Structure 1
Amino acid sequence: MEERELSQNKMGTARMFPLILSMAVPAMFSMLVQALYNIVDSYFVSQVSEKGLAAISLAFPIQNLLIAFGVGTAVGVTSLISRRLGQGRQDEADSAATHGILLSLCTYVLFALYGAFFTTPFFRMFESDPEIVQMGDTYISICCIFSFGLFVEISLEKILQATGNMIWPMIFQLVGAVSNIILDPILIFGMFGMPAMGVAGAAIATVGGQIIAMIFSIVVVVLREHAVRITFRGFRPHWRTVRDIYTVGLPAIVMQSIGTVMTMALNGILSAFSTAAYTVFGLYFKLQSFVFMPVFGLTQGLMPIMGYNYGARNKKRLLSALKQGCVIALIIMTLGLLVFLLFPAQLLGIFNASRELLEIGVPALRIIASCFLFAALGIVSSTLFQAVGRGVYSLIVSLMRQLVVLVPAAWVLARITGEVNAVWWAFPIAEVFSLIASIFLFLRLYRKEIRVLETARER
């Protein structure tokens, strides 16, 4: 019981900046490793063929959808657990954790069915080359059918993060990422007696790493004491808990799924120019993960702090977490901006980029990177909205960033100019509009709820 009290109290009493660092740095580190294995996956495939790289780029929206449902549901669980702990309602926090595991398994079944029966039509929408279609179909079918490791590991990771425990979730992610990195060359090229499987090997390495991480996380959760308990003995579904989870989780799912719709739409716009154009777009998402993943790791540390102090009605600490989170996010994004502006050719060179990829990719990276600073503030504000249970606000901001403004702007720029480089300017345009929306929604939230919170005495 003492461990439970300590994990709860530190979010309401510890000095804010050291607290954010202690909770965010492990997540930021593990997210950087996640970004590394995303890069490694594409790097090894690029050594096999450029068509394989194109197939993985086209597969990205479905992979993003897998993560959207897994993380989105888990975000709803994280928000509910942290708020219930802040309110001192332990039994309800435990119930939310158990519900989260079962909901993740239900979601897995849907994706397994999709992977078994419905992947080929997706690739045929964007590509007529049968080799690219076949490789993409193989890759994403494996990723979907065996995605149970992804869903269970994400759920356990987010449940522990909700309690303020960031070390074990970091280790879970490291185990999965390192396993993937080790398996990639073995299965793609055929090493140590294994056959060379190319793109299929990359997919098997991906799900293999996820399953290994899942097994490790289950062992840790079962054998160690944590601030919430997951138990299925005598369990009965509580529909109010499910509703409370998806009040935040469903907008989070939609918010992250918007990325899939956006990617599909932009792939359609870019494929009218060339295969290289949408391949560059896919490579950009691999590369930008080194910048965005640490910010997402930061928000993993911020969300339970914000949710706990909102539940405890501590306005001062809630706003302090928001302000310091914005500063840290801006520093990270500034460093990323400088790298993308100064070294775009070197970044693309990681993937054995052809001359055509470089001609399109170098200006693309520089133009898109101009939106990084706006994105930093939008991401942190969205985290605040999720932490206090206003998932719809996050959804509105994400719609502005990734769909309502971005896709129409890209389509108009492509039609008016006929130049692929013009399409990339849709990204900074969308970020400016979404930041304006974020400021408006924050001021609305502040006037209606945050302003009237009682401020607990700072220790």
Structure 2
Amino acid sequence: MRFNHVPRLLRLAAPMILSSSAITVMQIIDAIVLSRHSGEAVAAIGPSGMAVILFQGFLFGTAGYAGTFVAHNHGRGDSDGVRSSAWLGIYTSLAAGLLALALCWPVAQLFHLAGHEPEVARNESTYFLICMAGAFFPVIGSALGGWLSGIGRPAVVTAVTFVSITANALLAWGLVLGEWGMPRMGIAGAALATVLAQAVGAVLYALFFARAGGFSDAKARRLEWEELRRFLALAMPLGLRISGELTAWTLFLVFIGRLGTVELAASSIAFRINGTAFFPALGLGQAAGVLVGHARGAGDDDAVHAIAWQSLLVCEVWMLAMAVVFATASAPLIAVFAGDGPESARIIETGSVIMKFVAFYCLFDAANVMLGCVLASAGDTHWVARTFLVCSCTFLALLWLIVGTAPGLVAEWTLATVFVLATAIIWSLRFRTGAWRKIEVLRGADGVD
């Protein structure tokens, strides 16, 4: 095999890895700072953080699909189409921000029904409420970040993401612990720091878009309802797939939380650590998606097959390396987030067991991430969303059965690992059929399978 697409993949991937890792990096920072505040806050940030990404996943997954349209238009040399596609993401972001405001308070109350300890539930509700109220900022950032990546300027995305992460770290330290004359707000301060950092990123993206003439282009700003409908027909299934996956994992954490605070804290920490492997892999997948968009926009579908398998090989090497780290250094990794409270030793012991499962399923998650991104960029979002819905429902039904009959940490994490393996096999088989070749992203979306 000629690895002719790997150099372009890696040039695109480095900035996109940082961008895709941003929210997890922010939550890791929050978790580290909160470990110096209270154990209940550390336990709470796992389910509430997953829930934030769950709801925002649909919103920024939908708005961010504008980047796929941008990449296809860029591939065929249509500069007018590039700007119009960016505006599709902007309009979608505005609607998403209003929807998030409407849902943030009622959904936040559901944490009180999860069966967690009262203080944990209050912290979960607070973190979710504040992050969702500011959801417009990461969503518009996703849309405009997609525009920059689609036109081959991911280095700007890197710069903006770095500024946002730095702002979050400084604000979290001050607002959670009351340093530098700031109020001591605990988990509310962590959430506020995240929202403010995302707002900084959104403003910077908007300034770059304005400098490129995006806001002054009256033709691009014109809202074409038929084009928006076609965009949403492909984008919303992707958003639903993202939120569906996160729903499954959030409910998984909720069920784990019924085993006890130690199990919930250890699982939450494991998910945070897993993010150091997953989100760089997602950045690789997004970079592969840009290459796929350029190739399909230029009419070169034959290149997509090589892009996908070469990208998967690179991703698998990364995941294998991380799996080795997770398996051999699980206790020290968990200890970073466990704090020094009375239950720290139990959290480290439990987390060390969980990290063995995480290390094993990382080997299969590469195919989940990479081929999922390739299929989405190729336009095969409807089939992926429908299939993942079936897989997730099956996973949750089996999880419910285990919880009702023989609940246990090992049994529940074993099922989660099998779920990851099964979906990896399904995406691989779907890509090999070549059904995505029949889907047109920029024209004829009415015929999407």
Q: TM-score, normalised by structure 1?
A: 0.87
The 1:92–1:368 alpha-carbon spacing in structure 2 relative to 1, beyond 3 Å, is same
Q: Secondary structure at the match of 1:263?
A: helix
Q: What is the rounded CA distance, in whole Å, between the counterparts of 2:15 and 2:250 in structure 1?
A: 33
Match of 2:445 in 1: none
Q: What is the rounded CA distance, in whole Å, between the counterparts of 2:171 and 2:36 in structure 1?
A: 16
State the AA in 2 paired with 1:63.
V
Task: Name which of structure 1's ranges 90-99 and 302-311 shifts more when overlaid on structure 2.
Answer: 90-99
Q: Is 1:322 aligned with 2:322?
A: no
State the AA in 1 paired with 2:16.
A
Match of 1:454 in 2: none
Per the TM alignment, residue 97 of structure 1 is displaced from its structure 2 partner at its CA by 1.0
Q: What is the rounded CA distance, in whole Å, between the counterparts of 1:62 and 1:357 in structure 2?
A: 22
Q: What is the rounded CA distance, in whole Å, between the counterparts of 1:92 and 1:111 in structure 2?
A: 29
Q: What is the rounded CA distance, in whole Å, between the counterparts of 2:257 and 2:438 in structure 1?
A: 46
Per the TM alignment, residue 32 of structure 1 is displaced from its structure 2 partner at its CA by 4.7
Match of 2:443 in 1: none
Selected match of 2:193 from 182, 202, 205: 205
Per the TM alignment, residue 288 of structure 1 is displaced from its structure 2 partner at its CA by 0.7
Q: Is 1:174 aligned with 2:162?
A: yes
State the AA in 1 paired with 2:411.
A
Match of 1:442 in 2: 431
Q: Is 1:215 aligned with 2:203?
A: yes
Q: What is the rounded CA distance, in whole Å, between the counterparts of 2:61 and 2:92 in structure 1?
A: 11
Q: Is 1:122 aligned with 2:110?
A: yes
Q: What is the rounded CA distance, in whole Å, between the counterparts of 2:143 and 2:68 in structure 1?
A: 13
Confirm or deny: 8 A CA contact 1:79 1:248 kept in the other structure. no
**Runs (5+) with no aligned partner, structure 1:** 1-13, 451-459
Per the TM alignment, residue 305 of structure 1 is displaced from its structure 2 partner at its CA by 0.9
Confirm or deny: 8 A CA contact 2:112 2:122 kept in the other structure. no
Confirm or deny: 8 A CA contact 2:18 2:161 kept in the other structure. no
Identity of aligned residues (%): 22
Match of 2:125 in 1: 137
Q: Secondary structure at the match of 1:210?
A: helix
State the AA in 2 paired with 1:311.
G
Confirm or deny: 8 A CA contact 1:149 1:207 kept in the other structure. yes
Q: Secondary structure at the match of 2:434?
A: helix
Confirm or deny: 8 A CA contact 2:94 2:136 kept in the other structure. yes
Deviation per CA, 1:359-402: give whole Å up to 9, x if none: 3221111023211121101211111111111112332454466x
Deviation per CA, 1:407-452: give whole Å up to 9, x if none: 23433444554322111011221122212211321122259649xx
Match of 2:325 in 1: 339
Match of 2:252 in 1: 266
Match of 1:233 in 2: 218
Q: What is the rounded CA distance, in whole Å, between the counterparts of 2:59 and 2:328 in structure 1?
A: 35
Selected match of 1:244 from 207, 213, 230: 230
Q: Is 1:279 aligned with 2:282?
A: no
Q: Is 1:94 aligned with 2:80?
A: no
The 1:378–1:281 alpha-carbon spacing in structure 2 relative to 1, beyond 3 Å, is same
Match of 2:25 in 1: 36
State the AA in 1 paired with 2:141.
E
Per the TM alignment, residue 312 of structure 1 is displaced from its structure 2 partner at its CA by 1.8
Selected match of 1:20 from 1, 9, 34: 9
Q: What is the rounded CA distance, in whole Å, between the counterparts of 2:201 and 2:248 in structure 1?
A: 30
Confirm or deny: 8 A CA contact 1:126 1:267 kept in the other structure. no
Match of 2:292 in 1: 306
The 1:160–1:133 alpha-carbon spacing in structure 2 relative to 1, beyond 3 Å, is same
**Runs (5+) with no aligned partner, structure 2:** 440-449
Selected match of 2:374 from 374, 384, 395: 384
Match of 2:361 in 1: 371
The 1:319–1:273 alpha-carbon spacing in structure 2 relative to 1, beyond 3 Å, is same
Per the TM alignment, residue 101 of structure 1 is displaced from its structure 2 partner at its CA by 0.6
State the AA in 2 paired with 1:213.
G
Per the TM alignment, residue 186 of structure 1 is displaced from its structure 2 partner at its CA by 0.9
Confirm or deny: 8 A CA contact 1:100 1:155 kept in the other structure. yes
Q: Is 1:193 aligned with 2:186?
A: no
Q: What is the rounded CA distance, in whole Å, between the counterparts of 2:396 and 2:255 in structure 1?
A: 9
Per the TM alignment, residue 193 of structure 1 is displaced from its structure 2 partner at its CA by 1.3
Selected match of 2:277 from 288, 291, 299: 291
State the AA in 1 paired with 2:74.
L
Per the TM alignment, residue 284 of structure 1 is displaced from its structure 2 partner at its CA by 1.9
Per the TM alignment, residue 48 of structure 1 is displaced from its structure 2 partner at its CA by 0.8
Q: What is the rounded CA distance, in whole Å, between the counterparts of 1:93 and 1:375 in structure 2?
A: 32
Match of 1:73 in 2: 62
Confirm or deny: 8 A CA contact 2:149 2:157 kept in the other structure. yes
Q: What is the rounded CA distance, in whole Å, between the counterparts of 2:25 and 2:364 in structure 1?
A: 24
Match of 2:142 in 1: 154
State the AA in 2 paired with 1:335.
A
Match of 1:356 in 2: 346
Q: What is the rounded CA distance, in whole Å, between the counterparts of 1:324 and 1:299 in structure 2?
A: 11
Q: What is the rounded CA distance, in whole Å, between the counterparts of 1:284 and 1:94 in structure 2?
A: 40
Confirm or deny: 8 A CA contact 2:41 2:120 kept in the other structure. yes
Task: Name which of structure 1's ranges 432-441 and 174-183 shifts more when overlaid on structure 2.
Answer: 432-441
State the AA in 2 paired with 1:142.
I
Per the TM alignment, residue 230 of structure 1 is displaced from its structure 2 partner at its CA by 4.7
Task: Name which of structure 1's ranges 357-366 and 130-139 shifts more when overlaid on structure 2.
Answer: 130-139
The 1:268–1:38 alpha-carbon spacing in structure 2 relative to 1, beyond 3 Å, is closer
Q: TM-score, normalised by structure 2?
A: 0.89
Q: What is the rounded CA distance, in whole Å, between the counterparts of 1:132 and 1:213 in structure 2?
A: 30
Confirm or deny: 8 A CA contact 2:70 2:151 kept in the other structure. yes
Per the TM alignment, residue 209 of structure 1 is displaced from its structure 2 partner at its CA by 0.5
Q: Secondary structure at the match of 1:371?
A: helix
Per the TM alignment, residue 103 of structure 1 is displaced from its structure 2 partner at its CA by 0.9
State the AA in 2 paired with 1:383.
C
State the AA in 1 paired with 2:57.
A
> CA RMSD, aligned part only?
2.3
Per the TM alignment, residue 88 of structure 1 is displaced from its structure 2 partner at its CA by 3.6
Confirm or deny: 8 A CA contact 1:76 1:247 kept in the other structure. no
Q: Secondary structure at the match of 1:197?
A: coil
Confirm or deny: 8 A CA contact 2:367 2:428 kept in the other structure. no
Selected match of 1:254 from 225, 233, 240: 240
Q: Secondary structure at the match of 1:425?
A: helix
Q: What is the rounded CA distance, in whole Å, between the counterparts of 1:352 and 1:98 in structure 2?
A: 44
Match of 2:408 in 1: 419
Q: What is the rounded CA distance, in whole Å, between the counterparts of 1:39 and 1:431 in structure 2?
A: 23
Q: What is the rounded CA distance, in whole Å, between the counterparts of 2:402 and 2:300 in structure 1?
A: 46
